[in-house]
Chains A and B, each alone.
Chain A
Amino acid sequence: MTTLTLARALNEGLRRALEDDRKVLIMGEDVGKLGGVFRITDGLQKDFGESRVVDTPLAESGIVGTAIGLALRGYRPVCEIQFDGFVYPAFNQIVSQLAKMRYRSRGSVALPVVIRIPFGGGIGAVEHHSESPEAPFAHTAGLRVVACSSGPDAFTMIQQAIRSDDPVIFFEPKRRYWEKADVDTTASVADALPMDAARTVAEGTDITLLAYGPMVKVALGAAAAAREDGRSIEVIDLRSLSPLDMNRVSASVRRTGRCVVVHEAPVFGGLGAEIAARITEECFYCLEAPVLRVGGFSTPYPPSRLEEHYLPDLDRVLDAVDRAFGF
């Protein structure tokens, strides 16, 4: 076990992937000499060379579009999108090209492309640096969408994403980049929990709290606080947003009878809506209360001095838990 920041765990995972498969490439803005603006790719160009860790021109559509071409040639590109709000110039390449090419070719084409996106707020950034654009990608057939929440998961999930023969949108909780955890960098990826499986990170009996990415820590905090009040909250880290691991979610909700979904993205049309609908269909006779959602507002991401109001925090989560018990 080594104590690593989440950023460093990603770096180690990428390094391992580059070592394991010479077809793996890293490409993006500033990923080479600088090591990325968050230093996720620090030192990789030095060790693997400029043809495998590629500083690209500054154009996101170009990054994803050329990654598609490289994948068609048999490579496994890992693209870094510098910030969540910068992914939209690549939207056509991701949604209309990357996601659909296997289908269009009746399975003769595989596109093992990973698109890493640091997402979410809480770092006091300017506009377009704090968004949570996971819903439109989860809405797109042909993509797999995952979000890691911890160092150990970051280390294994990035390697699993790179090994996937499907395109993967890989969301990284940027405000957790600097949080430390013990990571076993000798762990085998094959033995790790599959990328598309949810994980129960706190067991409980009274209510199920669903979260992913940066919100897992908030959910765990809420569970700890509620425990002091004698309420037992089960927290599930969804990890995979497409597909959703509904088996684990539904099994939990059938036991607890109550559920709150938490994400930073706006509630309207967000992942929580899909999850709530599915829980209603699958657990209808077990529910003691409607599934409630806590998330961002239907506003653009506000100036950072206001983000503490926009982002779900421990109190807003507990408020929703209280409301769930009010039915």
Chain B
Amino acid sequence: MSVETGGSSAAHEVMPPPLASAPAAAAGLPPEAGAPEELIQLLTPEGERVDHPDYPLDISARELQGLYRDLVLVRRMDTEAIALQRQGELGIWASLLGQEAAQIGSARALGAQDMAFPTYREHGVAWCRGVDPLQLLELFRGVSHGGWDPEERKFHLYTIVIGSQTLHATGYAMGIQRDGATGDGGEAVIAYFGDGATSQGDVNEAFIWASVFNAPVVFFCQNNQWAISEPLERQSRIPLYQRARGFGFPGLRVDGNDVLACLAVTRAALRAAREGQGPTLIEAFTYRMGAHTTTDDPTRYRLAGDLEAWKLRDPVERVKAYLVRSGAADASFFDEIDAEAGRLGAWLREACRAMPDPAPLSAFEHIYAGPHPVVDAERDTYAAYLDSFDDSGRDGPGSPPPDGVPGGPSVPGVAQARGTGGFGRSGEAR
């Protein structure tokens, strides 16, 4: 390692110099500290509406109310899930706190025909795609691995191995091309991932594939500044959105706590994809306000002060401020949403606790399309083993959850997702 030729003492076996730190201007600073002109914003943290020359957005009061409702309800779902984990009802939960606007804004930009590929934190996107919230709880309770029909919901299964789904999204987009399903009224794909995922080979391969095949896919990166305990500086020396240029497609950074900007930017990127202009990388600049998951302790690696600073940019409060300021909603509207959130929370609590464990032998189902001698033999052997006990439990729980999950969500007192509040099919909303 040492190239010195003089002395030979151990002291001359010099230590390598400390690794140079990434420049402070790299990625993780709050937008104000970087180059503000990079950040696309339509609604300031104070709730003031601002225009952006490239992303005009004409939005009705009713649509705005719909977005606010989404934001409040998914936050309530998240809060409730954390509480259920603390009570031992869920094994783990990955909170979306702080990322509601990035998820609701981007997901409400999707048309009903568009396909979304999530990570495991996209509860807000799941909500917008009409996935039953109970099916999300099922996953984190250990009752299923998800289990919704991806094609029916146009929302793929949660993907836990970081970044893998970006390739699936790209392949799916290549299928859309082969189907000739692009163009006006056509289809596009959105791939969700985080800042940590940008270090994965799969994400970089997805960028390459999408670029060289000009696939109709939008890469939506929620940069929440943290990959569990590792800050963005550990992933990148440049702002993430700038990576796109090296792959040959546009990248842009949007205020991820601004639901309107996320909506407008995603809508434009989807339109470009459909029109044959290929992929776009959107970096939604946001902050993970909670822990990575309920097993995590962020006080070990980040400062409380950072959290306080980001609280001032809360994605829900700014929409409320704008609704009030613009007179688009009155007190009764907010009361109604709060009451709805309360009903949603109560229902989730109750339904989660009532959720039965699956029947033991269901573990042997859906591994292969047809019969399989090894699986079948093992199932039969295990069934006989269970039967050798007095209370085998074989026929016990495992009945399908109430309310017929596949038919779509049915939250009592809460009209969810697609086709709601005048903003359900927001892909068509203008």
Contact = CB atoms under 8 A, between A and B. Distances in A.
A72 interface: yes
Interface in B224-240: none
B406 to A, nearest CB: 9
Interface in B313-367: 365-367
Nearest to A100: B145
A185 interface: no
B167 A243 contact: no
Contact of B178 (A51, A93, A100): A51
A298 interface: no
A62 interface: yes
A73 B157 contact: no
A92 B368 CA distance: 19
B164 A96 contact: yes
A304 interface: no
A314 interface: no
B161 interface: yes
B229 to A, nearest CB: 23
Interface string A73-92: 11100000000000001001
B165 to A, nearest CB: 8
B375 A141 contact: yes
A142 B368 contact: yes
B125 interface: no
B426 to A, nearest CB: 24
A104 B366 CA distance: 8
Interface stretch (A63-71, A224-232, A260-268): A63-71
Interface in B195-223: 201-202, 205-206, 208-209, 212
Contacts of A92: 161, 164, 202
B201 A108 contact: no
A105 interface: yes
A90 B193 CA distance: 19
A101 interface: yes
B interface, by DSSP: helix, strand, loop or mixed?
A: helix
Contacts of A103: 145, 366-367
Interface in B156-201: 156-157, 159, 161, 164, 166-179, 201
Interface string A37-80: 00000000000000100001101011011111111111100000
15 contacts: A59-B201, A59-B205, A65-B167, A65-B206, A70-B172, A71-B171, A72-B151, A73-B174, A73-B175, A102-B368, A103-B367, A106-B144, A109-B150, A165-B370, A243-B372
A265 B207 CA distance: 36
Contacts of B202: 61-62, 65, 92-93
B146 interface: yes
B404 to A, nearest CB: 14
B163 to A, nearest CB: 9
A271 B61 CA distance: 65
* Shortest Cβ-Cβ A-B pairs, 3 listed: A69-B171, A65-B167, A73-B175
B147 to A, nearest CB: 5
A67 B209 CA distance: 11
A80 B172 CA distance: 19
A105 B149 contact: yes
Interface string B104-125: 0000000000000000000000
B373 interface: yes
A66 B365 contact: no
Interface in B373-389: 373-375
A277 to B, nearest CB: 13
Nearest to A247: B373
A104 B157 contact: yes
Contacts of A164: 369
Nearest to A68: B168
A242 to B, nearest CB: 8
Contact of B367 (A25, A68, A70, A142): A142
Nearest to B362: A106
A106 B170 CA distance: 23
Given A73-B179, A105-B366, 17 more contacts: A51-B178, A65-B166, A65-B206, A66-B167, A69-B169, A69-B171, A69-B175, A73-B172, A73-B174, A74-B175, A100-B145, A102-B368, A106-B365, A109-B150, A142-B367, A142-B368, A243-B372
B193 to A, nearest CB: 13
A280 interface: no
A107 interface: yes
B190 to A, nearest CB: 13
Contact of A105 (B157, B175, B178): B157
Given A62-B209, A65-B171, A246-B373, A73 B150 contact: no
Contacts of A97: 159, 161, 164, 168
Contacts of A62: 167, 202, 205-206, 208-209
Interface string A136-177: 000001101000000000000000000011100000000000
A166 B368 contact: yes
B175 A75 contact: yes
A57 B201 contact: no
A283 interface: no
A1 B131 CA distance: 55
